[in-house]
């Protein structure tokens, strides 16, 4: 997968996995990595799917309606890419913290839904429920920080609560931070994520 890897000053820190929103690319979330942990390494990945020229991490059939078969295949592809990248760049495969926005948060959520050890923790900015009706792996010891907008037209607030409940049912520790905004990523929610992360590491 097309990506940027930047080695950080402190190799004991997690590797931050940066996953952009629809129409974005691997450059978009680099400022977030700098706000959240300037000493950590980061791996910023570009989604392999193109929707009318806009990069994404998996196909969708309509706004908010995911192509589940493609989601499953792309989640596997990303998980395997993480295995390979950890070997190539010699970082700890078991110490990855995802930072995703929108479509990138959805594939990060999908990694948690499908693989027990894909991520150590995740910061999900404006995620949706990636899949329903499946048994999740045991996510005990995994920490998830969700940021959501009370007026988000793409992700209604009940869906953010549903995602939290599903992850908690799988034993993850989950916190939600609310913004009185829509789907946009705000500076204050990234600052809230940075405070949460500082307590975690």
Interface residues with ligand MLT (CB under 6 A) are: 21-22, 60, 63-64, 102-103, 106, 128, 154
- Least spacing, CB of residue 133 vs ligand MLT, in Å: 18
User: How far apart, in Å, do the first and last CA atoms of the chain sit?
Assistant: 28
Q: How far apart are CA 57 and CA 65, in angstroms?
A: 14
Question: Between residues 102 and 147, which has the closer beta carbon with respect to ligand MLT?
Answer: 102
Q: Which helix (H) or strand (E) holds 163?
A: helix 157-169
Q: How far apart are CA 174 and CA 124, in angstroms?
A: 11
Q: Is 183 a residue of the active site?
A: yes
Among 114, 152, 160, 177, the active-site one is 152
DSSP, residue by residue, 59-81? -EEETTEE-HHHHHHHHHHHHHH
Question: Between residues 93 and 183, which has the closer beta carbon with respect to ligand MLT?
Answer: 183
Among 20, 37, 41, 102, the active-site one is 102
Q: Which of 51, 52, 50, 43 is nearest to 78 (CA)?
A: 43
Question: Between residues 14 and 100, which has the closer beta carbon with respect to ligand MLT?
Answer: 100
Q: Is 84 a residue of the active site?
A: no
Q: How many CB atoms lie within 10 A of CB 184?
A: 14
Asked if 7 contacts 34 with a C-beta cutoff of 8 angstroms, the reply is no
Asked if 121 contacts 200 with a C-beta cutoff of 8 angstroms, the reply is yes
Q: Is 152 a residue of the active site?
A: yes
- Least spacing, CB of residue 25 vs ligand MLT, in Å: 14
Question: Between residues 93 and 181, which has the closer beta carbon with respect to ligand MLT?
Answer: 181
Place of tokens 């190539």: 88
Q: Which of 159, 43, 52 is nearest to 96 (CA)?
A: 43
Question: Between residues 74 and 142, which has the closer beta carbon with respect to ligand MLT?
Answer: 74
- Least spacing, CB of residue 53 vs ligand MLT, in Å: 14
- Least spacing, CB of residue 47 vs ligand MLT, in Å: 10
- Least spacing, CB of residue 128 vs ligand MLT, in Å: 6
Which residues are annotated as catalytic?
Answer: 102, 152, 183
């Amino acid at each position: 997968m097309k990506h940027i890897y930047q080695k950080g000053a402190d190799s004991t820190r997690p590797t931050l996995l940066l996953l952009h929103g629809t129409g974005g690319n691997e450059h978009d979330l680099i400022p977030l990595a700098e706000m959240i942990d300037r000493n950590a390494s980061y791996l910023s990945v570009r989604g392999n799917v193109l929707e009318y020229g806009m990069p994404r991490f998996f196909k969708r059939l309509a706004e908010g309606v995911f192509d589940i078969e493609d989601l499953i295949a792309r989640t596997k592809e990303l998980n395997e890419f993480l295995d390979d990248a950890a070997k190539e760049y010699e970082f700890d495969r078991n110490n990855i913290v995802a930072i995703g926005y929108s479509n990138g948060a959805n594939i990060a959520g999908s990694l948690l839904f499908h693989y027990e050890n894909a991520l150590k923790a995740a910061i999900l900015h404006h995620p949706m429920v990636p899949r329903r009706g499946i048994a999740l792996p045991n996510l005990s010891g995994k920490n998830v920080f969700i940021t959501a907008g009370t007026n988000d037209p793409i992700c209604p607030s009940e869906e953010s609560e549903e995602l939290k409940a599903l992850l908690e049912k799988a034993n993850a520790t989950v916190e939600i931070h609310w913004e009185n905004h829509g789907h946009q990523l705000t500076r204050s929610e990234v600052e809230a994520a940075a405070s949460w992360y500082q307590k975690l590491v």
